[in-house]
Amino acid sequence: MELSEIASALIEGNRKRVQELVSLAIKEGVPPERIINEGLIAGMQVVGERFKNNEIFVPEVLISARAMHAGMDLLKPLLAKSPGILKGKIVIGTVKGDLHDIGKNLVAMMLEGAGYQVIDLGIDVDAEKFVESVKTYNPDILGMSALLTTTMPYMKVTIEALEREGLRDKVKVIVGGAPVTEEFAKEIGADGYAEDAGSAVELVNNLLGIKSA
């Protein structure tokens, strides 16, 4: 079978078809990394580009992401036996006092679709929890989201907490959310800012020295 068929089914958001094709590829003995890279990631890259260009919108992205997860669920048991396939590890969360998560969820899905392991801490995450997650998971990137101008300053609180614990130089910190700007990111000492989910993938790739496809 052609792995591009998986990509096409994913772009269409056809969850059932993605599952069928991934199962077939596994039965045919196709290595999991090829199924992920040439099927799932290839499909999500097209979805990401279309989303960035305003050709599709959040509902379509979520449907495609759900199809991707259905395929990944079948591959996870095989991935455990093949370490080193994932590009890197990312911890992400919405900062304390902020209960918005659509943007954050979208970024998490796009990063997973790009081949990263994502640990999602959810919403209303305090500095202690962010710090604890860096100690526990040793991620390459820590991502923070805020949708309220009142919760934005908490990003700085978290960065300061990382500094106090001697962890700041061990992880790259990226920030995003509607009121957040490039200037604000620099002001608080973050390593990068992304204005949308597609840009977040590019930013992470750049920070980790990975070429975007």
| Residue that has been written with the tokens 């679709």 in this structure | 113
pLDDT of residue 80: 63
Rounded to whole angstroms, the Cα distance separating 137 from 170 reads: 12
pLDDT digits (tens, 9 = 90+) for 11-65: 999 999 999 999 999 999 998 888 988 999 899 989 988 988 899 998 999 899 8
pTM for the structure as a whole: 0.75
**How much is the pLDDT for 77?**
83
Distance CA 59, CA 126 (A): 29
pLDDT at 81: 64
Predicted confidence at residue 153, as pLDDT, reads: 97
State the pLDDT at residue 83: 56
Residue ranges in the chain whose pLDDT is less than 50: none
Domains of the chain: 4-79 (1.10.1240.10), 89-207 (3.40.50.280)
